Amino acid sequence: MSADLAPFAIADLLREDLRGRTPYGAPQLDVPVALNTNESSYEVPTPVVEAIVAALGSELAGLNRYPDREFRALRAALGAYLERQSGVRLAPEQLWAGNGSNEVLQHIVQTFGGPGRTALGFTPAYSMHPIITETLGTTWMDGQRDTGTFQVSAASAAAQAAAADPHIVFLCSPNNPTGTALDFEVIEAVLDAAPRAIVVVDEAYAEFARPGTRSALELLDHHPRLVVTRTMSKAFAFAGGRLGYLAATPEIIDALRLVRLPYHLSTPTQTIARIALDHDADLLASVEAIKTQRDRIVTEVAALGLTPVPSDANFVLFGGLADSARTFAALLEKGVLVRDVGISHHLRVTAGTPAETSAFLEALAELLPEHALAPDDKES
């Protein structure tokens, strides 16, 4: 060891704001039924695999050259998909992509946050929003939802945004981990109440929304500070492909170029994502089946005497547990991995295949009523 480093532990050399923190880490365990990270339980269909392999085969010899820095073909494919899916037409200049939606969220905070700046989110919400914010030197401000419904009203959101006067606001629709979607009134109220903020609507689970749930993409033409982020990890059964993207004004897209690393999307990543988008019908074929299992979970968990939150995502948050950590461990002993998201008396479960859903429901039923809140505790 070098003499000048000998008196110090590596931890002593960390940035002060990182000391004592723990990294993000959903458990990755080898279990029969893994329903903890909102992945799709359905494998990529063979025709899509074959199309990807063929496309990659024609490009591998060219890996001696850098990829298209502007990923133009991918942006065109993203625009075509969003028009098919939502009816909203977007120019390639309004689209941006990264290695998962976390990278595009990181680009937003790098560009519009930083030391002396603040970001607001309404918790419980996606845990990476504050992690990305704080590790990039931006101050996180914890807004609140209604404790009973996990919703946030337009009036409450506007009041909190006006009081915080943030530089960035994060909204989730549908929200993770609660599954609840936002009305447009909430989004527009926040935009009005936070006049200097970039307002990010995280729509990672948009394809799973119930009929009548609208996408914030429809608001882009009227709100130049609005950003809508999405991912291919969930509905596209493409978590391993690592492709997230956003839609915004061309001016915001131009600003993001200031912080992205050169050639941040590899040629294989661009190709795999583009071919997947060209085969969206095949990849999204499992969405309705997943929604059926999600709604089944809501119905059957309620029948067990617990309190599921109606969901527009591919998962269900349910409450009514005496000790959520204890129930999590008991389910794991039965081979079922769900997610403890840190909300007292609640756990979150991903909607999987019919067989996986049955395994979860059967395991949960076997644990009740021993693991349920007593009636007196529910009333209080």
> How does pLDDT run across 151-200, given as a tens digit for each residue?
999 999 999 999 999 999 999 999 999 999 999 999 999 999 999 999 99
pLDDT for residue 7 is more than 70: no
Parallel, antiparallel or unpaired: strands 315-319 and 139-144: unpaired
- Per-residue burial over 32-70, b if 16 or more Cβ lie within 10 Å, else e, is ebbbbbbbbbeebeeebeebbeeeeeeeeeeeeeebeee
Q: Is pLDDT above 60 for 6?
A: no
**3-class state of residue 245 by DSSP:** strand
pLDDT band of 2, cuts 50, 70, 90: low
- pLDDT reported for residue 380: 47
Whether domain 46-278 has CATH 3.40.640.10: yes
Under 8 Å between Cβ of 117 and 139: yes
SS3 140: strand
Q: What is the pLDDT of residue 378?
A: 62
Residue 240 has pLDDT above 90, yes or no: yes
For the chain, the structural domain boundaries read: 27-42+285-379, 46-278
The pLDDT tens digits of the residues spanning 78-125 come to: 999 999 999 999 999 999 999 999 999 999 999 999 999 999 999 999
Q: How confident is the model at residue 149 (pLDDT cuts 50, 70, 90)?
A: confident
Question: Can you tell me the mean pLDDT for 255-270?
Answer: 97
- Structure tokens that stand for 61 in this block: 């010899």
d(Cα 241, Cα 293) in Å, to the nearest integer? Answer: 24
List, in sequence order, every residue forming a beta bridge with 158; answer none if it has no partner: none
Asked if the bond preceding 250 is cis, omega within 30° of 0, the reply is no
CATH of domain 27-42+285-379: 3.90.1150.10
DSSP string, 160-214: HHHHH--SEEEEESS-TTT-PPPPHHHHHHHHHH-TT-EEEEE-TTGGGPPTTPP
**With 50 as the cut, is the pLDDT of residue 256 above it?**
yes
3-class SS of residue 65: coil
User: Residue 321: beta bridge partners?
Assistant: 372
d(CA 209, CA 20): 38
What mean pLDDT, rounded, does the chain reach?
A: 95
- Residue scoring higher pLDDT (198 or 10): 198
Domain 27-42+285-379 and domain 46-278, same fold? Reply is no
pLDDT at residue number 4: 56
pTM: 0.94
For 19-28, 208-217, 251-260, which range has the lowest pLDDT when averaged over its residues?
19-28
